[in-house]
Structure 1
Amino acid sequence: MAREVSGGDLAAAALRIHQGRIRLSVENLANAQSSASTPGGEPYRRKIAVFEPITGETDEPPAVRVVRDRTAFPTIQSPGHPAADAQGNLMLPNVRPATEMGELRSAMRAYEANLRTIATLDDVKGKTIDLLKS
């Protein structure tokens, strides 16, 4: 049997989702300049949040899966770098800082909007209780 999902439940679930988005964007930005630890090895691969729909059929919070971005790594010539391959090619992370900053800004705005939703719901509940008391 499906349980009823309230506005507060949805806003709280959305807070968790956007918190995960923020965490991933910050992690991606922190690793945007990292290189592989071994010669010819792969550098940090960008992480992306994939969301499962909120159905109300379970009491579990919505699932957020983390997948690795499969786009190609950019390469540069850097023969002296310890992580460069035998030809002197160095693979860089597939993180684009401008894209991550946009994603971070979007996630922060969505998080803030859900905080405002929860505050508004609390205000409406309080006013309803006040009306019922009088």
Structure 2
Amino acid sequence: MDYRNAFAISASGMSVEKLRLDVTAANLANIHSGKRVDGTLFQPMQVISTEAGENFSTQFEQLAGAQLHGAQVVGVTTTPTAPHMVYQPGNPDADDKGFVTEPGVNQVTEMVNMASALRAYEANVVAMNAAKTMALKALELGGS
């Protein structure tokens, strides 16, 4: 087995999870943002990812000699969520009834996304360390 492939798989997973963390942080940072200069509101974003290369089940069936691939980002999309109306009559952005329109970012959902991305990142780190340990042991066995 080529250990570089195992490292590449873990690295691709870590880069996807890093992007998920960055997008979640951007969503949380804009939770109370007002309208932009063009009059639009911030729309929450999400990362769309998939496995790189061929279908995983096809590769699993042909495991002897198959090249496994990692994860890849398909794109970052906005999620169409309804804005929140918050009663703040003293706010200069308030309408005639005293309501301010804020982005439809759900803080609980974003925190769950953050915890999930952190755990997945940690799992990829553990897998990379396991591959590194196996490669070192193979070198030790080959050297004796």
The alignment's TM-score, normalised by the length of structure 1, stands at 0.81
Q: How large is the Cα RMSD of the aligned pairs?
A: 2.5
Q: Distance in 2 between matches of 1:116 and 1:97?
A: 29
Spell out structure 1 runs of 4+ moving beyond 3 A: 77-80, 85-89
1:19 correspondence with 2:18: yes
Q: Distance in 2 between matches of 1:54 and 1:106?
A: 20
- Structure 1: give runs of 5+ residues left out of the alignment: none
Contact 2:36–2:42 at 8 Å: present in 1 too? no
In the other structure, the counterpart of 2:118 is 108
Q: Distance in 2 between matches of 1:64 and 1:54?
A: 10
Match for 2:40 among 34, 42, 46? 42
Match for 1:84 among 76, 90, 94? 94
| 1:16-73 deviation digits (Å, cap 9, x = unpaired) | 00000011111111111111146xx33321111111431169x9x8234111110111
Q: Give the % identical residues.
A: 27
- Structure 2: give runs of 5+ residues left out of the alignment: 55-66
Identify, as 1 or 2, the structure richer in strand.
Answer: 2
Q: Distance in 2 between matches of 1:126 and 1:25?
A: 36
Aligned pair count reads 127
